[in-house]
Structure 1
Amino acid sequence: MIQTPFRHSLIGLLLLIGIGTPAPAQAELKLSGIFSDHMVLQRDQRLPVWGGADKGQTVTVTFNGQTVSTTTDDNGLWQVKLPPLQHNNKGQELFVQSSEESLIIRDVVVGDVWHASGQSNMAMTVRSVAQKIPEAKQHIADANLPAIRFRRISENEAASPQTDLPLRNGWVPCSPASAPNVSAAAFYFARKLHHELGIPIGVIDTSRGGTPIEPFIPRDAFTSHPTLKQELKLGEQEDLRGIWKLPGGVYARDANWLPGRLFHSRLAPITEFPVRGLIWYQGESNCGNREDPRDYQHKMRALITGWRKALGDDSLPVYFVQLPGSGAGPGWPYLREQQRLSSNLPHTGMVVTIDLLDKDIHPPNKIDVGDRLARWALAEEYEKPVPYSGPLFQRATIENEKITVHFSYADSGLMIAVKEGLLPPRETPDKALSHFELADASGHWFPAEAIINGKTIVVTSSQVQDPAAVRYACAIDPQHCHLYNRDGLPASPFCSKAKFFQYAPDLPVD
């Protein structure tokens, strides 16, 4: 961003000759910190441009042949709205003029902007992926993709919503030099969208490692469930231990873990900035050591509805990643189920990763993660004919000693397959399905046999004559989950009856 001032002052002359007093300093013409060189503006929506200047000043914004003017308010704030624009890969200048000052934002393109947020598995960089997956080194070398731009926001927590962002790093075009430093999940997501759509893709990355979901939920969304209400009350008192002891609470290490604190600092200043949607990868810090994953589905719903309200878009698409098995602890199976239960909100989709095997809590295969996130967006938002979801539990029917499981997203049929590295799943009909269990009426679980029958699974167990419930892949780290649809996407872990799938957390004591 280049600022070109034209002001001249007589203050020094007046002081020299001893007459008059210095006039009040004129406020500097400013733009919000989200605006910088190389930025991406959201297409097909009215585009707010805002900032500050001296009160009562006329501010004029020019972009793409359109000019809009306004007058600053008593606080010196201004905002204009540019008319909706079609996508444009060619960089242009955004020009702002007030009195004798001007600002120029260079190389501005128009396309689709996506938020990317969550914790460390969203923050994990392409460089970190390349250290374990050799193919990613070539992805970096081939990353001369100037129509993809990233904006990293990493402000510290705030007790109240902030009104602006510092400029700091600004927007960065994707190149072999910059790609290693950006979110890998977001990089592969954006790369696939750009390849399929041919338009500029912007990513605003607000993720922060090691944080639970609570600091990303807007404050006024903590009213939808008793646990959320209590967390907000304790958070306002900065009672970290109280939140930890709360059933359904979280182990809050410091203020960055408190309700709304990262939304206040990282999202609140830019809720006016139009975007196409949100991708989200988080959950580990709500089901770790002595952390309670209960009620996570209500927190996820609060995040989704809260962001939609704050950003002024009730149908904002939100696509999120279900936790894998790698690095898992006792609370992870329950949290995966909570994630599945939250995925039925409209314009919401869940990426399953239980088949991406690794030992690390930061599994390096963000290539398939980004691809699967992009599939949801391509199918749902861009109406591309691509498969985008693996089988999701729909219902279970009980007939004598067997349970038949019906799935959504199984129209292509089901198959047993093995996924090796980055290769597509390979059908292996000689293998048996594993990780299915049946529960008796008392809620005790027993291993079961599962057979594919067209688009359904028939489950039986010699130890359960009158089954009451069925579940799949509900272990801490279930190895070799081989159930896919014939589109090559994995089935989600599930439990057919919530009352038979409880979690007793190891809560702190006084």
Structure 2
Amino acid sequence: MNTLRLIAACVLLLFVAAPSQAELHFASIFGSNMVLQRGVPVTVWGRAGSGEKLTVRFASEKIETTADANGDWSVTLPPLPASSEGQALNVASQTEALEIRNVLVGELWHACGQSNMAMTVEWMAHELPEVKADIANANLPLIRFCRIHAGPQPEPLKELELSPGWAVCSPKNVTKFSGVSFYFARKLQEKLGVPIGIINTSRGGTPIEPFIPRAAFTSHPTLEKEGELGDREDLEALRRLPGGVYARDANWLPGRLFNSRLAPIMRLPVRGAIWYQGESNSGTQEDPHEYAHKMRALIRGWRDATNNEALPFYFVQLPGSGAGPGWSYLREQQRLATDVPHTGMAVTLDLVGGNIHPPNKIDVGDRLARWALAKDYGQQVTYSGPLFDRQEIDGDHITVHFQHAESGLMVASKQGLEAPQETPDGKLTYFEVADTDGQWHAAEATIDGQTVVVTSPKVTAPIAVRYAYIVSPQHVPLYNREGLPASPFCSKPELLKYDPQLPK
């Protein structure tokens, strides 16, 4: 009798629970106050009862669909023009109706990385008094933010674990927004005059691996081995793997945060992505070798997941403040990853701060926005500082040619939030040349128009040149005349040596 009662109770529970699973809803990324991407088809999806007939309405569009056998439904809105007027997004069945309010159409961006991307405006204000004025003036209702938190998952999720919600930018809530994202969005909104949405999926203290889709751990032996070890959750082997990752728990494993934070929302089209990460791939016992391959895998993986092979991807090169032992090597790896089309690197070496979290995210957001404004929105704006192009060796000196130096180079100094100021009597520092044995020696450097000429009294036959290749360079002097700093570089990266002291 007890067994029969238990069976009956279980059947009753299943019967009671079934209707709730058939309730009509939107996917969790959809919420009031959100921003939809303009100018492209937009997929809207959710769940309903199996076979239910549904009608979706937005703006002047009305689309009918039917939920499949699993209860999944989706429709595709045609490309929409930008709209600063809040509109309703509706879905209705024969028995239920849902409405998402105050939806704008404009430009939508992903923001991801670790703690320097997660660092909030409030955090910035503790160290930069100027930020308090920006908070007070943050009544910017055309800027919207969505923050996604989720733990690691071994397989890609179809749905976010929790509904993240969308916030309208105001003095009251801007303090909780990512500082980089806020200043990036504010710059875009000011220049474009359309709504800007940011989806922030960053997590502090994490390496690049958990954000790379598991399917993208290919095309390089280290990536393939990381994928295999991650599948086995072999943290010790990952730590010992040359070029691997110092995995502390599941949050460090390949693909695990992509699975929970990004996979469920990749159907929602965005204009592009901004990325600030690298600290947790280049600290103590962390190996920055192969980071360029990991960056390429990250970008390729996100592009595959969004079905957008040209998804713009702009990232931050690590600054000089609070640097770990492998940062100089990792900065060069980041520079090498700029060979991927439709990417850009914001150089931040001149943004001095006291620790691993320099508070000046104003210039970081501005420099990322410059890439987007120039490359995606066709605006005439300088978007990059000098990037190494090639070297020419003539006897005992090397002439360095740069991209993004058409108007010439200058020695300059940046103080705080002020624009860099030219110092005509200043000297170029942080240049070195390598001799025929691959040994590096301090060098003297002078600007010659669009180039830099480098020599060392100790080297009569130099073979390579590098700039700012130290752990924590301070007050780097080389800029283009538009006031953007040169990236650190090595003309022959194969000469760079770094021993990460992996765990035994």
Q: Which residue of 1 aligns with 2:247?
A: 252
Letter in 1 for 2:200: D
Does residue 92 of the first structure (1) align with residue 92 of the second (2)? no
Asked whether the 8 Å contact 1:34–1:167 carries over to 2, the reply is no
Does residue 105 of the first structure (1) align with residue 100 of the second (2)? yes
Q: Distance in 2 between the 1:455 and 1:87 partners?
A: 41
Letter in 2 for 1:451: T
CA deviations 1:168-210 (Å, max 9, x no partner) are: 3401010001100010000000000000000000000000000
Per-residue deviation, 1:95: 1.0
Asked whether the 8 Å contact 1:323–1:332 carries over to 2, the reply is yes
Q: Which residue of 1 aligns with 2:480?
A: 485
Letter in 2 for 1:304: I
Asked whether the 8 Å contact 2:279–2:324 carries over to 1, the reply is no
Per-residue deviation, 1:429: 0.9
Q: Which residue of 1 aligns with 2:261?
A: 266
Asked whether the 8 Å contact 2:120–2:178 carries over to 1, the reply is yes
Per-residue deviation, 1:93: 0.6
The one of 19, 24, 28 aligned to 1:25: 19
Structure 2 length normalisation: TM-score? Answer: 0.96
Per-residue deviation, 1:24: 6.3
Per-residue deviation, 1:350: 0.2
Unpaired runs of 5+ residues, structure 1, are 1-20
Q: 1:404 to 1:149 in 2, by over 3 A?
A: same
Q: Distance in 2 between the 1:64 and 1:183 partners?
A: 30
Per-residue deviation, 1:505: 1.4
Q: 1:360 to 1:24 in 2, by over 3 A?
A: closer
Q: Distance in 1 between the 2:219 and 2:196 partners?
A: 33
Q: Which residue of 2 aligns with 1:404?
A: 399
Q: How does 1:200-239 map to 2 (within 5 A)?
A: 200-239=195-234
Asked whether the 8 Å contact 1:36–1:167 carries over to 2, the reply is no
Q: Distance in 1 between the 2:282 and 2:37 partners?
A: 35
Per-residue deviation, 1:212: 0.2
Letter in 1 for 2:186: R
Partner SS for 1:62: strand
Q: Distance in 2 between the 1:357 and 1:385 partners?
A: 28
CA deviations 1:135-175 (Å, max 9, x no partner) are: 10000000000110000001111000000014534010100
Does residue 306 of the first structure (1) align with residue 308 of the second (2)? no
Per-residue deviation, 1:25: 3.1
Unpaired runs of 5+ residues, structure 2, are 1-14
Q: Which residue of 1 aligns with 2:144?
A: 149
Partner SS for 1:121: helix
Q: 1:311 to 1:24 in 2, by over 3 A?
A: closer
Per-residue deviation, 1:358: 1.5
Does residue 317 of the first structure (1) align with residue 317 of the second (2)? no
Q: Which residue of 1 aligns with 2:112?
A: 117
Asked whether the 8 Å contact 2:332–2:488 carries over to 1, the reply is yes
Does residue 365 of the first structure (1) align with residue 360 of the second (2)? yes
Structure 1 vs Structure 2: percent identity of aligned residues? 61
Q: Which residue of 1 aligns with 2:327?
A: 332
Q: 1:142 to 1:22 in 2, by over 3 A?
A: closer
Partner SS for 1:403: strand
Q: Distance in 2 between the 1:148 and 1:24 partners?
A: 39
Per-residue deviation, 1:308: 0.5
Partner SS for 1:298: helix
Structure 1 length normalisation: TM-score? Answer: 0.95
CA deviations 1:442-482 (Å, max 9, x no partner) are: 01111100000000000001010110110000000111111
Q: Which residue of 2 aligns with 1:243?
A: 238
Partner SS for 1:259: coil
Partner SS for 1:41: strand
Q: Which residue of 1 aligns with 2:174?
A: 179
Per-residue deviation, 1:68: 0.2
Q: Which residue of 2 aligns with 1:282?
A: 277
RMSD: 1.1
Q: 1:442 to 1:74 in 2, by over 3 A?
A: same
Letter in 1 for 2:339: N
Asked whether the 8 Å contact 1:151–1:204 carries over to 2, the reply is yes
Does residue 467 of the first structure (1) align with residue 446 of the second (2)? no
The one of 340, 343, 349 aligned to 1:345: 340
Letter in 1 for 2:75: V
Q: Distance in 1 between the 2:16 and 2:413 partners?
A: 77
Q: How does 1:424-463 map to 2 (within 5 A)?
A: 424-463=419-458
Per-residue deviation, 1:22: 9.0
Q: Which residue of 2 aligns with 1:5?
A: none
Q: Distance in 2 between the 1:408 and 1:31 partners?
A: 47
Aligned length: 489
Letter in 1 for 2:214: R
Q: Distance in 1 between the 2:108 and 2:138 partners?
A: 19
Per-residue deviation, 1:295: 0.2
Asked whether the 8 Å contact 1:118–1:208 carries over to 2, the reply is yes
Letter in 1 for 2:391: A
Letter in 1 for 2:498: Y
Asked whether the 8 Å contact 1:116–1:280 carries over to 2, the reply is yes
Q: Distance in 2 between the 1:24 and 1:165 partners?
A: 21
Asked whether the 8 Å contact 2:412–2:477 carries over to 1, the reply is yes
Letter in 1 for 2:25: K
Partner SS for 1:405: strand
Q: Which residue of 1 aligns with 2:3?
A: none
Per-residue deviation, 1:59: 1.0
The one of 401, 408, 417 aligned to 1:422: 417
Per-residue deviation, 1:359: 2.2
Q: 1:167 to 1:65 in 2, by over 3 A?
A: farther
Runs of 4+ that moved beyond 2 A = 21-26, 166-169
Does residue 507 of the first structure (1) align with residue 498 of the second (2)? no
Q: Distance in 2 between the 1:40 and 1:377 partners?
A: 18
Per-residue deviation, 1:65: 1.3
Q: Distance in 2 between the 1:224 and 1:126 partners?
A: 39
Q: Distance in 1 between the 2:18 and 2:168 partners?
A: 40
Does residue 81 of the first structure (1) align with residue 57 of the second (2)? no
Q: 1:70 to 1:444 in 2, by over 3 A?
A: same
Per-residue deviation, 1:87: 0.3
Per-residue deviation, 1:330: 1.7
Asked whether the 8 Å contact 2:286–2:502 carries over to 1, the reply is yes
